[in-house]
A and B are shown apart, each in its own frame.
Chain A
Amino acid sequence: MTAYLARRVLQAVAVVLLVTLIVFGLIRLAPGGAAVGVLGSGSAHQQFLVQYLTWLGRVLGGNLGRSLRLNESVGALLAASLPRTLVLAGLSTLIALLIAVPVGLLQAVRRNSVVDHVLRGLTYLLYGAPPFVLGLLLILYLAVDAHIFGAEGPQATGIGGFITDARDLTLPVATLTLVTIAIFARYMRSSALDSLGQEYVQAARARGGGEGRVVVSHVLRNSLVPIVTLLGLSLPQIVGGALVVEILFNIQGMGWQIWQAAVNHDFPVTLGFTLVIGVAAALGSLLADIGYAVLDPRVRTSRA
């Protein structure tokens, strides 16, 4: 297991380095001296490798540069926007998981029943609904008309104020959750159906195990493997922000910041934020592999 983990960590580090190389290369290719904008005028005549290593050295030293238009360091902008996005996307993923796993399992156990058909229709509906439509509907009915929730996300500067403002946090989290539930529930249903057909499940039933115990002890654990994959792949999205929801609910999160930076040619911000999202993608993949190994011993023995 240790060797497996070590190898995966090394692979993740290599992926991150590759991401930095590609992103910096793309920024350097951008017209208008973007790389010089990031590194300063003294770098104008340096070779690509020298520029890249200079930038990487600064990043490893904790210096991600300075925004060209917001009078802030990239680190300060990250510190302000990343926690908001982590709360927003992390909370919605967690709630979606808590709802989608039992829903998907129920659909599998009650396959082709009325319950399954209704839930399947609902998840199809949510899966196909664009977040801006869902968000606008929620705002229109639950904020503007009913005044139950706020029409925008929390505006507190500190993360404490942001996370405790349940009235304003509810609708953006709900919008993201509804979309995510649909994805997770469909994967869970499919995975649980596969597990229900396995011999070890029939063996457990033959041994006299109650249906509930069989489902929880044998079906659930094995069905969670694809969900772990999904969660791992969701990490860059959780870190990278949900652009549409952030724009709609007036939340200056990661997605909105990186979009603004891209539109306004704020290259240091684009580069710094992309790097963080790249690291999150590598980390998510690593965590998914670790999750596999924990859930399925065959993974760690076959790859170690």
Chain B
Amino acid sequence: MRSGGHRRGATIGACCAAVGLVLLLAACGPAAGSASSGAPAASAGGTSVTFAMQPGGQASYPFAFFTDSTIGEDSVYNVNDFQYLMYRPLYWFGTGVTPYLNKQLSLAEPPEYRGKAVIIRMKRNYTWSNGEPVDAQDLVFWINMMIAEGTNWGFYNKSGLPADIASVHMNNNYEVTLDLTSANFSQTWFTNNELSEITPMPMAWDRTASGQSDCDVSVTHCIAVYNYLSTQANKGVSAIASSPVWSVVDGPWKLVSLNSQGKLVVTFNKKYGGPVAPHHITSFTELPFTSEQAEYNVLQDPTAGQTIDVGYLPTVDAPTPPAGSLVGANPTTLPDYRLSAQYLWQLSYMPYNFKNNTGQAAIFHQLYFRQAFQMLVDQEGVIDGPLHGYGKPTVGPVTLYPKTTYLSAQVANESDPWALNIQEAKSKLSSHGWKLEGPSSNQVFTCVRSGTGPSDCGAGIPSGQQLTLKMIYASGIDWMQSAARELASNASLAGIRLNLTQETFIDVVDTAFGCTSTAPASACNWQLALWGSWTYSPDYLPTGDTLFEGGAANNAGGYNDPRDNQLILATLQARTPRQFDSAMRAWDSYATAQLPVVYEPDEATLVETIKGLDTGPLNSADTITPEEWHYLK
């Protein structure tokens, strides 16, 4: 998870006063870089690109090896937009718009599987910027550190790395064999969700304060090396660019500067051995922004001190695209840019709390209720309304776009089986022992037939129980607020009282994932929690073992269904890619029908690119490869 209408008089009055004052201010000092002409945008052009980051984020942490204490640094800003520019992962994901393995950009050939053995062959064309080859030793260095940190490693998985490694062998300078504890695993899963977490590290990093170490040979020495590297990484943002440690890179970019505001400048690494575009750019700058509006202001002002070549457009400022189109017209205020829509490889959902201890869990366990509740989510209405057409509905754990071989044919070929239908939702509840009670203007369903029969409310639901629910949702996201209010409105029409509470994004996530076995009872009283989505990165497969398997660490609501668990296990044990795809489609079909969570609409990311710059397709894995960007002649 990488996580006005104003009176005309008022307007004119304010402007008059403003003009007078700003002219006074302008007279106070030199107009540095002032340009009063309405000249068209002039991108830096040729060899450099300025990229505006998503608002609120900035790069600050260079060390790709995350532990429990640093896993909070695992963000798109730190990893995709910063570390990946300089340090390349063993396997790169994102081919075209899909999240599939990218063989060209990976440091190693696709792994070879032989029983319990996984053979990884490093490509020979990559070198570190200090001249040393990127080889098997660098891979073993990472693996040994992962073994040394064990459960403290940020991506530790009890049925995956490093727990499933029996031994590691360096066959030669470019080949490593991992002997696993079992042969009963899916090759696709291991490549996409396990090996995807590895980033080879240079021998220049295999050291402590007292000198060179040998973590690549001896696991016991790795903790000291990790501590040294962690200390170096935590010396502060301004110390990163001048650090001899972080200056050794195998990626296409070398860090020139990174300031405390988050402005990042990198220059092309001439020793990079991977593919680059002819006439590619050689300087890449990332700019931080405090808000979407601030970024949009600069996009609109082509004479600004810092011109943006690639930046983000708030969805609310985008004209709605024509029916059937992924992208519509660019706003007229941005004539020098080209608009693209990026659909990320993620799941947008809201968990039910099946572990709720205030009496609602029994309701959530009823499939008919989950079906009825899903039919109150107007996904198309949210997409057409607050999202201005830039979104896609979610109907199951495998996203509809980009289309992958994991999507069940049934889901791919049919429209949303749980599309908005308030009458049908009411009918389902009425036929399962619920009756509308109360004053006609404010009727709420009440269970009148407790029991477990086909027309009863269901196990654990007492007679007299009302359908009154509480939902918390993340503040600060306009479309989500609209979606939550519309859901509450639809619920009210269907006889369900849905009480909404806004909290910060982090508070909602903390609440949703806080009901653990060791947590106090108060941590389990939440009912529905909406924060947005789960991004499938750096575990790129939407297998259910992460979010939907009984007992999984990130199964926020505690959903646990034997058939679901069985189908998930089948995906993890499917040996060949073909078997895997088949198992995934079977599970996707089941999870679509069973509704383990409330499926929510997924917002697209809108990207503005200056005309004349070719950046290739926008990757759903949310990775960027500026070394492949170039200006068209």
Give the interface of A toward B (CB within 8 A). 31-32, 68-73, 76-77, 80, 95, 99, 121-122, 125-126, 128-129, 133-134, 136-139, 141-152, 154-155, 157, 164-171, 173-174, 177-178, 181, 246-252, 256, 260, 263-265
Contacts and interface: CB of A to CB of B under 8 A. Distances in A.
A71 B32 CA distance: 32
Interface in B10-59: 10-11, 13-15, 17-19, 21-22, 24-26, 28-39, 56, 58
A149 B10 contact: no
Contact of B38 (A77, A147, A178): A147
Given A32-B510, A71-B60, A72-B237, A252 B261 contact: yes
The 6 nearest A-B residue pairs measured at CB: A166-B29, A151-B301, A250-B294, A71-B60, A151-B297, A167-B34
* Interface hub of A99, A138, A149, A173 (most chain B Cβ within 10 A): A149
Contacts of A250: 289-291, 294-295, 297-298
B290 A178 contact: no
Given A167-B34, A168-B32, 12 more contacts: A32-B510, A68-B72, A76-B260, A125-B14, A139-B297, A148-B26, A148-B36, A149-B26, A152-B306, A155-B306, A174-B25, A263-B505
A134 B18 contact: yes
Contacts of A174: 18, 21-22, 25
18 contacts: A71-B73, A76-B236, A76-B260, A95-B24, A125-B10, A125-B14, A137-B14, A157-B261, A165-B32, A166-B31, A169-B29, A174-B18, A178-B14, A181-B21, A248-B293, A250-B289, A263-B504, A265-B506
Contact of A247 (B19, B288, B291): B291
B260 A72 contact: yes
Contacts of B24: 95
B25 A166 contact: yes
B290 A147 contact: no
B633 interface: no
Nearest to B301: A151
A178 B18 contact: yes
Nearest to B291: A247
A143 B30 contact: no
* Chain A binding surface, main DSSP class: helix
Given A95-B25, A248-B294, A167 B32 contact: yes
Contacts of A148: 22, 26, 34, 36
A188 to B, nearest CB: 17
* Interface hub of B17, B19, B34, B233 (most chain A Cβ within 10 A): B17
Interface in B232-247: 233-234, 236-238
Contacts of B31: 166-167
Contacts of A167: 26, 31-34, 305
B4 A133 contact: yes
Given A148-B36, A152-B297, A249-B294, A170 B304 contact: no
B236 A72 contact: yes
* Interface hub of B37, B61, B290 (most chain A Cβ within 10 A): B290
A171 B22 contact: yes
Given A147-B36, A164-B30, A166-B29, A251 B290 contact: yes
Contacts of B288: 252
A133 B293 CA distance: 12
Contacts of A173: 25
Contacts of A129: 10, 14
A32 B6 CA distance: 43
Given A71-B236, A247-B294, A147 B37 contact: yes
Contact of B301 (A71, A72, A143, A165): A143
A174 B27 CA distance: 13
Given A137-B14, A173-B25, A247-B293, A71 B56 contact: no
Contact of B36 (A136, A146, A151): A146
* Interface hub of A126, A145, A154, A155 (most chain B Cβ within 10 A): A155
Given A133-B4, A167-B33, A170-B22, A155 B261 contact: yes
Interface size, B (range): 35 or more
Given A166-B28, A166-B30, A250-B289, A177 B21 contact: yes
Given A142-B18, A166-B25, A265-B506, A151 B298 contact: yes
Contact of A71 (B234, B293, B300, B305): B234
Nearest to B56: A260
A146 B38 CA distance: 7
B19 A150 contact: no
B263 interface: yes
Nearest to A98: B24
Interface of B: 4, 6, 10-11, 13-15, 17-19, 21-22, 24-26, 28-39, 56, 58, 60-61, 72-73, 233-234, 236-238, 259-261, 263, 287-291, 293-295, 297-298, 300-301, 303-306, 333, 476, 504-506, 510
* Chain B binding surface, main DSSP class: loop
B295 to A, nearest CB: 8
A168 B39 CA distance: 18
A40 B371 CA distance: 46
Contacts of B263: 155, 157
A142 B22 contact: yes
Nearest to A67: B60
Contacts of B291: 247-248, 250
A151 B26 contact: no
Nearest to B4: A133
A140 to B, nearest CB: 8
* Interface hub of A129, A170, A181, A248 (most chain B Cβ within 10 A): A170
A170 B13 contact: no
Contacts of B13: 121-122, 125
Contacts of B305: 150, 152, 154-155, 165, 167-168
Contacts of A139: 297, 301
A147 B4 contact: no
Contact of A73 (B17, B236, B303): B236
A260 to B, nearest CB: 7
Contacts of A247: 290-291, 293-294
Given A142-B22, A166-B28, A150 B304 contact: yes
Contacts of A149: 22, 26, 34
Contacts of A264: 506
A248 B55 CA distance: 11
Given A126-B14, A165-B305, A170 B233 contact: no
A65 B263 CA distance: 23
Contacts of B60: 69-72
A181 B510 CA distance: 43
A69 B78 CA distance: 11
Nearest to A132: B293
Given A76-B236, A150-B304, A265-B506, A69 B18 contact: no
Contacts of A142: 18-19, 22
B18 A137 contact: yes
A121 B9 CA distance: 11
B595 to A, nearest CB: 30
Contact of A144 (B14, B32, B333): B333
A122 B10 CA distance: 9
A73 B236 CA distance: 7
A171 to B, nearest CB: 7
B390 to A, nearest CB: 23
A122 to B, nearest CB: 6
Contacts of A165: 32-33, 305
A166 B21 contact: no
Contact of A246 (B21, B261, B290, B304): B290
A170 B20 CA distance: 12
Contacts of A249: 290, 294, 297
Contacts of B295: 250
Contacts of A177: 21, 25
Contacts of A170: 22, 25-26
A84 to B, nearest CB: 9
A157 B291 CA distance: 19
B237 A150 contact: no
